[in-house]
């Protein structure tokens, strides 16, 4: 039985909240996998991006010379100044309301929770298994996002894995055609969303092909 996307979003958002609640003050200030963002900046982005209205979004775009990526980066750092308590409260409200970025599908909220969860946990040495029912829709979302929109979600994932068959070794998930490359579900999520992956995380006859693209 397929888990509804709304339930997946709630589950991954709850997991992210639980992670944040376990962190020390020092860990909130640690660098995340997102360049230029600390853990608190990632958390602030997940707190307020889903509730950014069109008027405020337009103002933010103008302030950042109509660059979506620049706007996303700047707003997260600015929002983080609101502090941990307000960030946690807003994340709780998002979980209850199901808020998602304006104009985006529900799967985008799931991708944010899964991938930004990795951005926070991995540098801190924390783990959070990614089940197949989450990796499937999150993977398909980024692979099907066309240019130039894919610039907001980690780049051209389809081109990145072109010519190989990517297979998760810890859940039932695969994509593509060609020599097989196996990796953990977490590493696959990082790969698809443009996060760092090391060659030793890949195995199989297609690993060298993919490794040259990292």
> Count of CB atoms within 10 A of residue 94's CB?
23
Reported as a pLDDT band with limits 50, 70 and 90, residue 146 is: confident
For 106-139, write each residue's pLDDT tens digit. Answer: 999 999 999 999 999 999 999 999 988 999 999 9
Q: Hey, what CATH topology would domain 5-124 get?
A: 1.20.120
Per-domain residue ranges of the chain: 5-124, 132-211
Helices 68-80 and 54-63: angle between axes, nearest 10 degrees: 100
Contact 181, 109 (CB under 8 A): no
pTM comes to: 0.94
| Domain 132-211, CATH among 3.30.70, 3.40.50, 2.60.40, 3.30.1050 | 3.30.1050
Residue 1 confidence (pLDDT) above 80: no
Residue 82 confidence (pLDDT) above 70: yes
SS3 180: strand
Nearest to 189 by CA among 106, 124, 117: 117
Percentage of the chain exceeding pLDDT 90? 76
For 151-207, write each residue's pLDDT tens digit. Answer: 778 889 999 999 999 999 999 999 999 999 999 999 999 999 999 999 999 999 999
pLDDT at residue 57 in the model: 84
SS3 27: helix
For 5-39, write each residue's pLDDT tens digit. Answer: 999 999 999 999 999 999 999 999 999 999 999 99
Question: Is the alpha carbon torsion for 66, 70, 75, 78 positive or negative?
Answer: negative
pLDDT at residue 200 in the model: 95
């Amino acid at each position: 039985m397929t888990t509804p996307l709304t339930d997946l979003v709630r589950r991954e958002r709850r997991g992210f909240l639980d992670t944040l609640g376990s962190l020390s003050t020092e860990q909130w200030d640690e660098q995340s996998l997102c360049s230029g963002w600390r853990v608190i900046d990632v958390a602030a982005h997940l707190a307020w991006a889903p509730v950014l209205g069109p008027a405020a979004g337009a103002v933010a775009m103008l302030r950042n010379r109509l660059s979506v990526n620049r706007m996303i980066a700047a707003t997260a750092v600015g929002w983080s100044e609101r502090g941990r308590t307000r960030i946690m409260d807003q994340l709780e409200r998002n979980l209850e309301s199901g808020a998602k970025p304006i104009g985006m599908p529900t799967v985008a909220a799931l991708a944010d929770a899964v991938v930004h969860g990795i951005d926070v946990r991995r540098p801190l040495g924390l783990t959070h298994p990614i089940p197949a029912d989450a990796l499937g829709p999150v993977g398909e979302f980024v692979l099907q996002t066309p240019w130039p929109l894919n610039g907001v979600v980690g780049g051209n994932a389809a081109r990145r894995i072109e010519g190989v068959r990517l297979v998760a070794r810890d859940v039932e998930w695969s994509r593509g055609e060609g020599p097989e490359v196996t990796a953990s579900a977490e590493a696959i999520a990082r790969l698809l969303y443009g996060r760092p992956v090391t060659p030793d995380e890949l195995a199989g006859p297609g690993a060298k092909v993919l490794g040259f693209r990292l």
